């Protein structure tokens, strides 16, 4: 555990007692599921967790359970790390479908007050824009965005760093994921804050098997 993390843990800000069982949900929104860059990024995250934490990986492209079971996994998590590639200027379609299904749980115990971070991979450009918009969405769902909770890696950036590591010290590196994970753990110290919320229109919750494809009716008004 890092010095800053240890100091905060001693003051009771971070739940680092193994008996308290803090959990980081690693949410893979890539279209390549367990075979892509997002999966490789998320596989590095557990080693950066402080003592007393465990991780739970949810690969959306492969998920075949129920919506209720999915909501339970969200509720039991203390923080989220969302990973996706960049596809035509946005995140992966499995993650988009997840957001469409789970929007009915906006401001619920699934999300409210829980820290969230983003790890985005891209071929060349566009990753930062996708990460910022993604964290904005999760903020509106009720999550908290801690400092330095964004990581964007690109093939072009990795190639540049490989050619001249010292000249690219200000380019995100894969080792920076450790900072993201540790800040997510630190930010759970604010989980008991009585956050103020605004009224939201409750969407119809989907029950039963997770609808990875097909028509989805959330009960929104038809006005055209």
**What order do you get walking across the sheet with 79-85 strand by strand?**
53-59, 22-28, 79-85, 116-122, 150-154
pLDDT at 222: 87
Q: What is the pLDDT of residues 188-222, one digit of tens each?
A: 998 788 999 999 988 999 999 999 999 998 888 88
Structural domain includes residue 197? no
Q: Could you identify the residue written with the tokens 């008991």? A: 192
Domain contains 219: no
Note down the domain range covering 167.
Answer: 3-190
In this prediction, residue 191 carries a pLDDT of: 76
Q: In whole angstroms, how far apart are CA 8 and each of 12, 187, 196?
A: 7, 10, 25
Cβ atoms of 215 and 72 within 8 Å: the answer is no
Whether 214 is in a domain gets the answer no
pTM (two decimals): 0.87
pLDDT tens across 45-83, in order? 999 999 999 999 999 999 999 999 999 999 999 999 999
The total number of structural domains in the chain stands at 1
The b-or-e profile of 72-96 (16+ CB within 10 A means b, else e) is: ebbeebbbbbbbbbbbeeebbbbbb
For residue 59, the domain's CATH number is 3.40.50.360
Tokens of 22: 């803090």
């Amino acid at each position: 555990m890092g010095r800053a993390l240890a100091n905060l843990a001693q003051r009771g800000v971070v739940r680092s007692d193994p008996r308290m069982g803090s959990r980081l949900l690693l949410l893979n929104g890539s279209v390549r599921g367990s075979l892509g860059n997002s999966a490789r990024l998320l596989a590095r995250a557990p080693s950066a967790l402080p003592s007393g934490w465990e991780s739970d990986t949810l690969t959306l492209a492969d998920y075949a359970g129920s919506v209720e079971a999915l909501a339970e996994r969200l509720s039991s998590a203390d923080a989220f790390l969302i990973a996706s590639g960049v596809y035509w200027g946005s995140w992966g379609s499995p993650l988009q479908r997840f957001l469409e299904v789970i929007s009915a749980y906006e401001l619920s115990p699934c999300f409210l007050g829980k820290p969230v971070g983003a790890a985005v991979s891209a071929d060349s450009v566009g990753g930062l824009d996708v990460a910022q918009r993604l964290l904005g969405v999760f903020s509106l769902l009720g999550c908290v965005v801690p400092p330095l909770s964004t990581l964007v890696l690109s093939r072009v950036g990795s190639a540049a760093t490989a050619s001249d590591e010292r000249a690219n010290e200000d380019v995100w590196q894969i080792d920076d994921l450790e900072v993201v994970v540790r800040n997510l753990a630190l930010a759970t110290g604010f989980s008991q804050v009585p956050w103020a919320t605004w009224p939201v229109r409750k969407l119809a919750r989907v029950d039963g098997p997770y609808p990875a494809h097909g028509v989805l009716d959330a009960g929104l008004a038809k006005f055209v």
